[in-house]
Structure 1
Amino acid sequence: MVVRGNFENSLQDLQAKMKTMSDLAAASLEKSFEALKTKDVELALKVIDEDEVVDDLDTEINHFIIWLLAKEQPVARDLRKIIGALKISSEIERIADFGVNIAKSTIKIGNADSLVNISILEKMKDLSIKMLQKGLDSFLNGDIALAKEVGELDDEVDQFSGDAYKLMTGYLKDHPEETEHMVQLLLINRYLERTADHITNIAESAAYLIKGQMYDLNS
């Protein structure tokens, strides 16, 4: 069964690349938010520069998957796993992009003191990183319980996002002169909410692999 053994080794290589990419995306979110809290424009610029590594790894994964499909011609569950990996790598790339977007908003805010308490945004960031770890582990380990946990955590992020939106728009109503700054914070709120949505898509791909049917974890 050398052929099957080679295929399993290729899958492990693919999964290792996905884990590396996921770690890089999580680091992008962590660093960009740290830059926001500390008003560190240099760190924000570093996040933007490092995104090229994620993009290159996404391309590498895509090419690896195309090679694997052509070489192995997998069927059934193996095919679902490879197609799921392709979808998930795309989701992870978008998550890293949101880290870049947060960094860009941080640069636009500059050295200005935060106009509102951003602890809600930090909770959203922390939850998103936790969701990303659970979502990928669900896919790699075939754990449907982790996929469902991601959906539950997404509900928490949505609640925090709604609270942050009310806080920020309420402040903006009373301080229209701070529009530019508040718009950037509102954008960051949106980026984090969308990050959680993309991670939920990862969990849905994991659930499909495990159960062979589509799940809507956003409902």
Structure 2
Amino acid sequence: MVTRQSYDQELEALRQELLRMGNAVAMAIEDAVQSLAKQDVNLARKVIEGDDIIDKMEVDIEDKCMVLIARQQPLARDLRIISTGLKITTDLERIGDHAYDIANVTLRLAHQPLIKPLVDIPRMAGMAQKMLHNALEAYFKLDITLAEQVCLADDEVDNLYQQIFRELLTYMMEDPRTISQATQLIFVGRYLERIADHATNIAEWVIYLVTGQRLRKK
């Protein structure tokens, strides 16, 4: 029979694996946006190739969660720890997918001069990355206050996305030759907005882990 100490060690190992996955995803976002801003094809390909590693992390964590549930039949808080791990892993994997999507935009635009210097998109990426960092720190420290701050920050990202959308739409209306590239950049803004949404989801799962209550974003 597995002792409580051994079980707690397995739960802690699960938490550490989630944090490693979170760090890998955060690096993928950073590299993807940098690849776009610098039109760095090699960096974009690095992000694309790294997506398989992130996917494998998700599968490994899911397997460990299933084994813990099957072997231990956890109740109450222990079950919340495992189920929250499953949910957070899904959000991290989807964030990784969006980094992959941004890297693919880099490849599509690699041989085109940018219609404008990228300022707001890297700024938006920085905001989304900070949200992810804070959500993961909230998870590590079980910090509800920090998790709530992540949820509140999502509105700022949404507002910046709308600003980027309107600016790029103006470019498209003034010069139809910019439509193709501007559309791709709007996609990037949308990917970053979704990354922020997933960071918010993680923060909400932290609140659930600590309190047992689900906070739904309005």
1:113-137 C-alpha deviation (Å, 9 max, x unpaired): 2213421111111111111111122
Number of aligned positions between the proteins: 218
Task: Name 2:148's counterpart in structure 1.
Answer: 148
Deviation at 1:68, TM superposition (A): 0.7
Match in the other structure for 2:24: 24
Equivalent AA in structure 2 for residue 164 of structure 1? I
Displacement after TM superposition at 1:2 (Å): 6.9
Task: Provide the residue aligned with 2:130 in structure 1.
Answer: 130
**1:160 matched residue in structure 2:** 160
Give yes or no for contact 1:98–1:195 (8 Å, CA) kept in 2.
yes
For 1:185 and 1:142, how far apart are their aligned partners in 2?
36
SS of residue matched to 1:115: coil
Q: Alpha carbon RMSD of aligned pairs, Å?
A: 1.3
The structural deviation recorded for 1:50 is 0.8
Deviation, 1:39, is 0.7
The answer to whether the Cα contact below 8 Å between 1:148 and 1:203 also exists between their aligned partners in 2 is yes
What is aligned with 1:206? 206
| Alignment TM-score, normalising by the size of structure 1 | 0.96
SS of residue paired to 1:149: helix
Residue in structure 2 matched with residue 110 of structure 1 by the alignment? 110
Following superposition, the deviation at residue 22 of structure 1 comes to 0.4
CA distance in 2 between partners of 1:58 and 1:189 (Å): 25
Q: Which moved more, 1:136-145 or 1:188-197?
A: 136-145
Note the residue ranges of structure 2 that are not aligned, 5 or more in a row: none
* Alpha-carbon distance in structure 2 between the residues aligned to 1:30 and 1:14: 25
- Who is 2:186 aligned against? 186
Deviation string, structure 1 residues 135-162 (Cα, Å, up to 9, x no partner):
1222232110011110121111111101
Q: Residue type of the partner of 2:83?
A: I
Q: Distance in 2 between matches of 1:117 and 1:157?
A: 19
Runs of 4+ in 1 over 3 A off after TM superposition: none
Tell me the distance in 1 between the aligned counterparts of 2:27 and 2:83: 25
Per-residue deviation, residues 21-41 of structure 1 (Å, max 9, x unmatched): 001100110001111111111
Q: Corresponding residue for 1:78?
A: 78
In 2: Cα distance, 1:173 partner to 1:96 partner: 32
Bigger shift: residues 38-47 or 83-92: 38-47
Q: Deviations over 1:24-78 (max 9, x none)?
A: 1001100011111111111111110011110011000000000111111110011
Which amino acid in the other structure matches residue 71 of structure 1? R
- Separation (CA, whole Å) in 1 of partners of 2:152 and 2:114: 30
Identity of aligned residues (%): 34
Corresponding residue of 1:50: 50
The 1-side partners of 2:169 and 2:71 are apart by 54
Aligned AA (1:201):
N
Tell whether the 8 Å contact from 1:116 to 1:168 is kept in structure 2 after alignment.
no
The alignment partner of 2:3 has SS state of: helix
Pair 1:97 & 2:97 matched: yes
Deviation string, structure 1 residues 194-219 (Cα, Å, up to 9, x no partner): 11001111111111111111112x33
What is the DSSP-based 3-state SS (H/G/I as helix, E as strand, rest coil) of the residue aligned with 2:113?
coil
